[in-house]
Every structure is written in structure tokens, then in C-alpha cells.
Amino acid sequence: MTLLQRYFPILDWGKKYDKSTATSDLVAAVIVTIMLIPQSLAYALLAGLPPEVGLYASILPLVAYAIFGTSRALAVGPVAVVSLMTASAVGELAQQGTPEYLGAAIVLALLSGLMLVAMGLFRLGFLANLLSHPVISGFITASGLLIASSQLKHILGVPAHGHTLYDILLSIISHLNEINWITFGIGAASTIFLFWVRKGLRALLLRSGLQPFLADGLAKAGPVAAVAVTTIASAVFQLGDRGVRIVGDIPSGLPVPQLPSFDSDLWLALAGPALLISVIGFVESVSVAQTLAAKKRQRIEPDQELIGLGASNIASAISGGYPVTGGFARSVVNFDAGAATPAAGAFTAIGIALATLFLTPLLTYLPQATLAATIVVAVLSLVDFGAIKRTFAYSKSDFTAMAATILITLFFGVEPGVVAGVTLSIALHLYRSSRPHMAIVGVVPGSEHFRNVDRHKVVTGDRVLALRVDESLFFANSRYLEDRIYALVADRPDIEHVVLMCPAVNEIDASALESLEEINHRLKDSGVSFHLSEVKGPVMDRLKRTDFLENLTGEVFLSQYDALCALDPLTAHIAESRLPKKTARSDLWAGPEI
């Protein structure tokens, strides 16, 4: 692959593009366009922006991703979580409905795009690994609950405000006496209908004898049906005059491409939120892209995905949109509809552009409650309480990070939740790494295998202490290793040799090297030799560049069994002679940890 093809993947798949592929992409584009129109309007509403901004964010970004992206099925555009983060970030700087609010959202998209492109060019995709899966899962669950609660005001037809669950619910409760019952009827009916469409319509259509492909298409068009019916009802009965909030006039036509003005104070204020949006959006997008690519034995390039998503956000900013990323639901629909290349996204962009030009006057009477119902149904699918239960059962530390992310996001806001989750994950990782698992090991009778004395029936001697460390050695855990060895030697006055078994040690940093030198020196003063065994090649290469091996009081053994035979041949002989005629696996294995 040439350098040009690497940064412009369209040059790779484009040269093999044919009529059959184009047909598949066109069919997928039609289905995704039908789905994306109400979603784009709804997510713009969630972000606190005029509805047409959601359409703008669904045109040029798709074209940009088609040029720079590597996923064949990823559908880029506004998504719920990023819309919520946009509202949270921009709401701190400007009032909704003002030109300043829209301008800040556009700048946020540009900053996010520039950061993503820079991360891609410098191959910094690994930074997304700072967000552990429990933190991401917790954040998305909390965001789903937060988004759903924020839409209750539109379904009930009451004024409400706030960026935390407490503020939103308190505000809604204080205005319950102002419920518009017509609005509530529209919102509740739309919500029930959309849940039924999502869960039951496809099965009903299949039982009626409809082909699976057609049944899928009609089921995906459920939100369009809700929009059409409620809009017609609103127009016929003039519900806007009866207190029902409607979308109102949506400007027809396409935006004129232009760069946002530079305001250093605004850019600095949005830099932090832009970075969070970039990382969260990238993690969500690349997870979806990798999942879909694996189903067709394709692959994506994460660093190029950063560039593709960055270009999409820059395109969104230029065209008057707000931050975008790859959406799970629409990407799955795109994949299931048969999208073969990123060109399906470009065709979808054409469909959205045509809708922006010709269909927006038809949406004037669209009730906001219908869009709110669309959002609620979409985001509640993100809420995964089962993941909380599974994480609690598997890892209490990961559960702590997940629970903290959920609670802080719900009650303090989006950005504090993400920062707290990442910080806690890193802190817990460092804590676990600073106290690595270490095991005194003995030889399994009749074999050359060494296992934990607390979990297996093994043979040990009094002269040799064999300690296995199951972690790389670095500054955070080197002192813990020292303390553990000194304590073990102090409790065993007959010890003549200490062997540090290193099969899991992938690196020894400078701090750990100093600790090993100190251990060697202290044991020498105690009349105990210090040995290493099963040291990996790259680690050994680095040790050879120092004088540690020259000053080592013991030896470096290829295997732990070699060490036992050389240092305590009697114990090795006893272990060999204890081989039973028939050894049950359960006798040698006492647990999942070796």
C-alpha cells in the first residue's frame, strides 16, 4: 500500500468499485437515509441546537469519511452521547437558542476534528486505551439515563433545565402542574409505538409472510412513520395553537461552507471538552467498526480512523454542524442493508442533502415530543444494567470505577464523570501493579512444572526459596518486591538460595534494576545467594548492558527446574520419585490461578 493510499483509503477500494457494489451501497444508503432524517433532527434537539443543524452534520461529514475512513460499514453522524456532551460543554458558555451557542458548537466540532487528525498523524490511537471498558460502559449507561430524563420535559410539555439527573428531575417535578396533556399523549403514544416497532414489528411482518429484507426495512422506518403521523395530526388540528411545541420553520437549502471565526478565549474554554468528545467518540466509533469488520473478515486501521473521524468533524464544522462520530444503530443498519464500501455513506449524504432542500417545509408542524420519544427509545437501548452486575461479580475494583463513573456522571455532569472514571481506572491499575501477585512455588511431583504452594500439591526444600513474580518490574512495585523477599528470608533461617522466577516479567525499568541490585547486596550480607530463572530474551539483553550480572551472587538459569537440580538436587530427586501410578487432575489443580 502506498503512502497516498494509506491516508486516502478511497484510492484503494475505489479502483475496484463496480456496478454490483454501487447497487448494494445505494440500497443501504436509502435505508440509512430514512432512519437518519428523524435521528438527525432529534439529536440536534438533544444538543440544544436548531433541528437543521442535525441535518447539516449528516451531509459533508459522511462524504469526508468516505474519503478518509477505513470501515466499509461505519455510518458517521450525530449520536446521542456526543450530542449530550456538546450540550453540556456549550451550555456552560452560552444560552441555548443564541448565535453564540451555535457558534460554540461549531468551534467544538472543529477543535475535535483537529485533535483527532493530529492524534491520527502521530499514531496516538492507543490513548483511547486509557478508557477501560467498565468506564466506557458505565459512562454510556449513565448518559443513556441522563439523556432519557432530559427528554421528559418535551414529552410532558413542561419547562425544565439542568445538566445533572438531580437538577433535571427536580425541575420537572416543580413544573408537573403545567403538563400539556395533548403533548403528553403524543409523546407517550410515540414512545410506546417506537418500542413496539423496535421489538415486535419485524416478527409480526415475518409471520405475515413478508420477506426478511422488506420486513427489516419497514421496521427501521418506524420513526419515519411516527414523524409523519404526528406531523399530519399536528397540522390538521393546529396543535401548535393548543400549547404543543412544534419544530417550526426549518430553513430550506444547504449551508454555505465557511470556517468559524477564531476566538482564543472560546477555543481555550472548549479545548478540554473537545478532547473528551474526541476520545469518547473515537472509542465508540472504532468499537463498532471493528465489530462489523470482523463479521466479514475485514480490518480497519485505528490510526487512520482517527484521521477519518477528524476529517468528518472538520467537514461538520465547515458546513455549520456540530461534533459527529460513528453511530452504533445506524452502522448496524448500514451493515445489514448490504453496504459494501464507504461510498454508501456518500450516497446517504446525497439523500440527506435532498431532504434538506425539499422536505424541511413538511416538518414545520412536527411535535418536539415525537423527536423526544425517538431519542428516549434510542438511548435506553444503551443502558446495560446487566454489565454492572457482571462487573461486580468479576472484579470489585473495575466495579468501583464503573459505579463512580455512573454516579458522578448522573449527579455532577458528563465531563466530571469521564474524568473521574479515567482517573480512578488509572489509579486502580497503578495500585494493582504496585502489589503484583507473587507466589512461592514448588515442583509438581514427577514433572518439571512449578506451581503455587498454596494451590497445588508440590515438593519444596528448606534450602531454596523459589519466588515467582507475575508482573513486569517497574518503579511502582520494585519496593514491594524488596519487602516481600526480605520478609520471606527472615522467616526461613535455613535458606541458602533465593531464585526469582521471571516468566511473566516483560520489562525491568531502572528503578526495579536498583531494587534487584539492593536485594542482591542485602542477601549477600545475609549469606544467601540470589538467582534468576526463566528471564526473557529482551529483558536479558538489557541486563547485559549493566554490571548487575557481573555482581550477581548466583546464576541465571534457563528454567526453574535447572535451578532446582543445580541448587537442591535432593529435593529434585524426591519430587521425581514421588510420581504416583495414577495422578488425578484434581489432585494437582486446586484453583484457576497458577
Which pLDDT band holds residue 592 (cuts at 50, 70, 90)? very low
Question: 581 or 97: which carries more pLDDT confidence?
Answer: 97
Q: Tell me which of 1 and 489 has the higher pLDDT.
A: 489
Angle at 521 between CA 518 and CA 527, to 5 degrees: 140
CA distances from 463 to 24, 181, 242 (A): 72, 84, 91
Q: So what's the pLDDT on residue 1? A: 58
| Grid cell digits, residue 342 | 464507504
pLDDT at residue 593 in the model: 41
pLDDT in tens, 385-440: 999 999 999 998 889 989 999 999 999 988 888 888 888 888 888 888 899 999 99
Q: What percent of the chain has pLDDT over 90?
A: 62
- What integer is the mean pLDDT of 359-380? 91
Q: What is the pLDDT of residues 540-559, one digit of tens each?
A: 999 999 999 999 999 999 99
In the three-class reduction of DSSP (H, G, I as helix; E, B as strand; rest coil), residue 465 is classed as: strand
Residue 381's pLDDT is what? 81
Q: What Rg, from alpha-carbon coordinates, does the chain have? A: 31
Per-residue pLDDT reduced to its tens digit, 157-212: 999 888 889 999 999 999 999 999 999 999 999 999 999 888 888 788 888 888 77
For residue 380, the model assigns a pLDDT of 87
Q: State the average pLDDT for the chain.
A: 89
* pLDDT the model gives residue 575: 80
Residue whose C-alpha cell reads 530427586 in the numeric block: 573
Confidence of residue 579 (pLDDT cuts 50, 70, 90): low
> Among residues 116, 103, 146, which one has the least CA distance to residue 322?
103
Higher pLDDT, 1 or 577: 577
Joined together, the cell numbers standing for residue 541 give: 539483553
Which pLDDT score, from 0 to 100, does residue 125 have? Answer: 78
Provide the b/e sequence for 230-246 (b: ≥16 CB within 10 Å). Answer: bbebbeeeebbeeebbb
The pLDDT, as a whole number, for residue 354 is 94
Instruction: Identify the three-state secondary structure at position 559.
Output: coil
Does the structure show a pLDDT above 90 at 130? no
Q: Are 523 and 489 spatial neighbours (Cβ–Cβ below 8 Å)?
A: yes
Residue count of the chain: 594
Show contacts of 514-517: CB within 8 Å, 24+ apart.
Answer: 514/478, 515/473, 515/478, 515/479, 515/481, 515/482, 516/473, 516/548, 517/548, 517/551
CA atoms within a 13 Å half-sphere pointing along the CA-CB vector of 484: 21
Q: Up-side HSE of residue 275: CA atoms within 13 Å toward CB?
A: 11
Is residue 18 packed enough to be buried (19+ CB in 10 Å), middle (13-18) or exposed (0-12)? exposed
- The closest of 58, 101, 52 to 76, measured between CA atoms, is 58
pLDDT digits (tens, 9 = 90+) for 336-351: 778 899 999 999 999 9
pLDDT at 578: 63
What backbone phi and psi angles, to 5 degrees, belong to 82?
-65, -35
In the block, which residue shows the cell 520471606? 488
Q: Looking at residues 113-140, what average pLDDT do you find?
A: 86
Percent of the chain scoring above 70 in pLDDT: 96
Whether 111 has a pLDDT exceeding 50, the answer reads yes
Is it the case that residue 489 has pLDDT exceeding 60? yes
